[in-house]
Amino acid sequence: MRLRLWYSPGNAMRTSRLAVLLAAGCAAVFVAAFVFAQEGPQTPSSDTVAKPRKPADTEAPPEQQTIPSEYHKKDEVPEATFRSNATTVSVDVAVLDNKGRFIPNIPADRFRILEDNVPQKIETNAKGEAPMTVCLLIEFSAKYQWYGSQTWYQTLTAAYGFAQSLKKEDYIAIIAYDMRTEILSDFSTDRMKTYEGLQRLRIPGFSEANLYDALVDTEERMENIEGRKAIVLLSSGVDTFSKLTFDKARKRIQEAGVPIFAISLMQALRIMAEGRMSGPQDLTFLQADNQMKTFAKETGGQSYFPRFYGEFPGIYQSISEALRNEYTFTYHPTNQARDGSFRRIKVELVNPANNEPLRVVDEKQKPIKYQIIAKQGYKAPREVE
């Protein structure tokens, strides 16, 4: 059999066009692959820190759909009620002197825990040094941190400095926020992954700083992590565009109960600009400082407002001592009602002999002023039926 190829100007033109289209398509695929390789792996903002998000509901295929029950009437379905065990509450407590140093070796019987002003029986207690799990939550927006600015430099200095202050067994994750949160590195003891995440803090994007949304999102992600955990917040304290209000964010942060150690940015610049700022601007920053103090105090953390770079090492040490050298207590609350209410916790140091406030002294028997750092409450579980 002989095959004959017919040539005509029309056939040649169509063949030429087809070749050009195929060449262009191959070139586009090659360029896209090259660009993707240059960009490196991208971390989606929905990737979680410790707590996976629930995937969107999708319809199950026919073979996976529920098999109809043999019962057809409601009164034929047997009722079942499931109840969990008694509630156990864990409270991490740090006792610091007037210089922010941890006070060790306080006997367990000197502590008193009240829940809604009702004394509770402490079941277990522990103390000593332990590794910590920390999420470094960083405000990084074009509102104050444009490339090369003083605030940009201060943010990077504080972030890298804190990462370098950790011990090798400590876990750290990095989250940055502007209009939304973005996970730069997940929890790891590998410092190279941490520094790779911090390397992405170069050019800020949006000029929004959604503090409330970012804090609540991070708190809820870390809520179920075991052990000594905390959020270290590097922020101006200003919120510009959050979906949540301050009151709603405050309530949800209290319920999650992850300690927040807030480090304020731009303190020195604000002091230098005091005479040139308008009334509303000054009020905005005063409100920002108050918000940072409130979030830290109500979660059992601390707030810091450094004016000089030399203050940062002392802040890192204070955070480390407060987290590593904690007293951990557990108790079964006298109120076992599962009503989802918020229960307030108060921790005191008392003398068991006379039930009066405990007097703490130093080596020279001089009284020491101390403060007790602990979360201010928790949300009771609801009945599961």
345: nearest Cα among 217, 262, 255: 255
Return the pLDDT at 8: 43
C-beta atoms surrounding 337 within 10 Å: 12
C-beta atoms surrounding 210 within 10 Å: 23
In DSSP notation, 178-211 reads SSSEEEEEEEES-HHHHHHHHTT-SS---S---H
Return the pLDDT at 52: 58
Q: Is 161 strand, coil or helix? A: helix
- Dihedral sign of CA atoms 47, 53, 59, 61 in order: positive
214: nearest Cα among 188, 185, 252: 252
Measure the CA–CA gap between 219 and 177, rounded to whole angstroms: 14
Measure the CA–CA gap between 369 and 385, rounded to whole angstroms: 49
Task: Show pLDDT as tens, one digit a residue, over the chain (385 residues).
Answer: 443 434 344 444 444 454 444 444 544 444 344 333 333 334 444 566 876 555 544 444 444 444 444 444 444 444 433 344 568 898 888 888 877 778 888 888 999 999 999 999 998 887 766 788 999 999 999 999 998 899 999 999 999 999 999 999 999 999 999 999 999 999 999 999 999 999 999 999 889 999 999 999 999 999 888 778 899 999 999 999 899 999 999 999 988 889 999 999 999 888 877 666 666 777 888 999 999 999 999 998 999 999 999 999 999 998 988 888 778 899 999 998 888 889 999 999 999 889 899 988 877 888 888 888 888 888 888 876 4
Residues 6+ apart with CB under 8 A from 292: 233, 235, 237, 262, 264, 303, 305
Measure the CA–CA gap between 150 and 73, rounded to whole angstroms: 71
Q: Is 111 strand, coil or helix? A: strand
Return the pLDDT at 275: 64
Q: Is 334 strand, coil or helix? A: coil
Q: Is 91 strand, coil or helix? A: strand
Q: How many CA atoms lie less than 13 Å away from 367 in the CB half-sphere?
A: 4
Q: pTM (2 decimals)?
A: 0.67
Measure the CA–CA gap between 23 and 200, rounded to whole angstroms: 36
In DSSP notation, 261-296 reads EEEE--HHHHHHTTTTS-HHHHHHHHHHHHHHHHHH
Alpha helices in the chain (DSSP H): 9-39, 150-165, 191-198, 211-222, 246-256, 267-272, 279-298, 312-324
Measure the CA–CA gap between 98 and 76, rounded to whole angstroms: 67
Return the pLDDT at 33: 40
For residue 223, which phi and psi values (nearest 5 degrees)?
-55, -40
